[in-house]
């Protein structure tokens, strides 16, 4: 079946968006559309220019007989800024305050539009890093982890705090919570991750970083490598931050329970 050029452009665009960071040989597209490689190359040049002009991402060419093209998501700071500002406004709503100074974030993490945009921005910060797995801890960080993983085209592994019979044999570690200083346990199925994997740790909220450090310790049991740490919201004014290198979209600077005020600003994403 012969495709018109407009049909090729639409289908190629959709395929590349669905297969980020995956090497696609030119012969694949040539056979798919019954077109010459020269025509495919011209189409890819158009898609690449459009992606870059619209802040969608970029297409990289891999030369050689076994080469092809790869799509990488890339969000500019100019495109990310309005969303992060909107996210700050959402989180700053005083109705989110819960007893004890906690914030209600479940509705945000349950909004597909918000989570997908946040995931795309986080993935953009690590799009060219070598990452095999996205790791998160159950339960609130799971939607964000999947959103990031879908843009990086890698699987998600979920660290749990209690054993599930469906998980099979597990590896468990004890860690000290950075905020409460209590000893807690987390575990991960032995089948969930290969040894030597490069892991991006993703979480919804980070205070002192005890939970993240626990995941890093668990990662060491698999002889894995930490490729990066990303969080949706970080708390400021923490005396003993256990984590130094990380990416955050939003920074919670102060919570005033008496005045019912939540001070929020952009995280360190723009400083990366």
At 107, list the tokens. 């509705």
Q: Is 224 exposed, middle or buried (0-12, 13-18, 19+ CB in 10 A)?
A: buried
Classify domain 77-271 at the CATH class level.
Answer: alpha beta
pLDDT tens per residue, range 141-160: 999 999 999 999 999 999 99
Q: How confident is the model at residue 132 (pLDDT cuts 50, 70, 90)?
A: very high
pLDDT at 119: 97
Please say if the pLDDT value at position 194 is more than 90. Answer: yes
When mean pLDDT is compared over 13-17, 189-193, 259-263, the highest value belongs to 13-17
Classify domain 5-73 at the CATH class level.
Answer: mainly alpha
Specify the 3-state DSSP secondary structure of 127.
coil
Q: How confident is the model at residue 248 (pLDDT cuts 50, 70, 90)?
A: very high
Q: Is the pTM of this model over 0.85?
A: yes
Kindly state the DSSP code that residue 72 receives in the 8-state scheme: E
**Cis preceding linkage at 102, omega within 30:** no
Specify the 3-state DSSP secondary structure of 150.
helix
pLDDT at 14: 97
Q: How far is CA 10 from CA 4, 22, 130, 224, 255, in A?
A: 10, 18, 29, 39, 47
Cα(96)–Cα(89) distance, integer angstroms: 11
* Mean per-residue pLDDT, 37-63: 94
* Mean per-residue pLDDT, 247-257: 88
Residues in contact with 197: Cβ distance below 8 Å, sequence separation at least 6, in sequence order: 132, 133, 222, 224, 225
Q: How many CB atoms lie within 10 A of CB 90?
A: 16
Helices (H), the chain: 5-18, 26-33, 37-53, 77-91, 106-109, 112-125, 142-152, 210-221
At 116, list the tokens. 């997908």
| Main-chain dihedrals φ then ψ at residue 182, nearest 5 degrees | -90, 150
Annotated domain spans of the chain: 5-73, 77-271
Cα(23)–Cα(93) distance, integer angstroms: 44
pLDDT at 165: 78
Average pLDDT, whole number, for the chain? 91
* Mean per-residue pLDDT, 229-241: 83
* Mean per-residue pLDDT, 235-239: 72
pLDDT tens per residue, range 161-179: 888 878 889 999 988 875 6
Q: How many helices and strands (H and E) does the chain possess?
A: 8, 12
């Amino acid at each position: 079946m012969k495709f018109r050029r407009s049909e090729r452009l639409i289908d190629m665009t959709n395929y590349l968006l669905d297969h980020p960071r995956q090497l696609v040989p030119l012969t694949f597209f040539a056979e798919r559309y019954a077109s010459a490689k020269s025509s495919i190359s011209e189409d890819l040049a158009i898609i690449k220019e459009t992606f870059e002009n619209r802040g969608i991402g970029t297409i990289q060419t891999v030369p050689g007989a076994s080469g092809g093209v790869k799509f990488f998501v890339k969000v500019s700071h100019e495109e990310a800024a309005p969303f992060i500002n909107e996210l700050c406004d959402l989180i700053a709503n005083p109705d989110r305050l819960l007893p004890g100074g906690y914030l209600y974030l479940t509705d945000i993490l349950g909004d597909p539009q918000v989570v997908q945009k946040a995931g795309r921005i986080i993935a953009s910060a690590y799009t060219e890093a070598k990452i095999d797995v996205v790791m998160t801890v159950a339960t609130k960080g799971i939607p964000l982890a999947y959103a990031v993983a879908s843009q990086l085209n890698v699987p998600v592994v979920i660290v749990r705090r209690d054993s599930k019979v469906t998980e099979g044999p597990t590896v468990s570690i004890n860690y000290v919570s950075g905020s409460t200083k209590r000893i807690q346990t987390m575990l991960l199925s032995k089948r969930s991750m290969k040894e030597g994997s490069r892991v991006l740790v993703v979480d919804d909220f980070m205070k002192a970083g005890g939970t993240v450090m626990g995941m890093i310790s668990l990662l060491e049991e698999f002889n894995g490598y930490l490729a990066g740490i990303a969080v949706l919201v970080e708390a400021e004014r923490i005396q003993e931050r256990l984590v130094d290198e990380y990416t955050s979209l939003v920074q919670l600077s102060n919570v005033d329970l008496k005045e019912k005020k939540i001070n929020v600003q952009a995280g360190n994403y723009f400083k990366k």
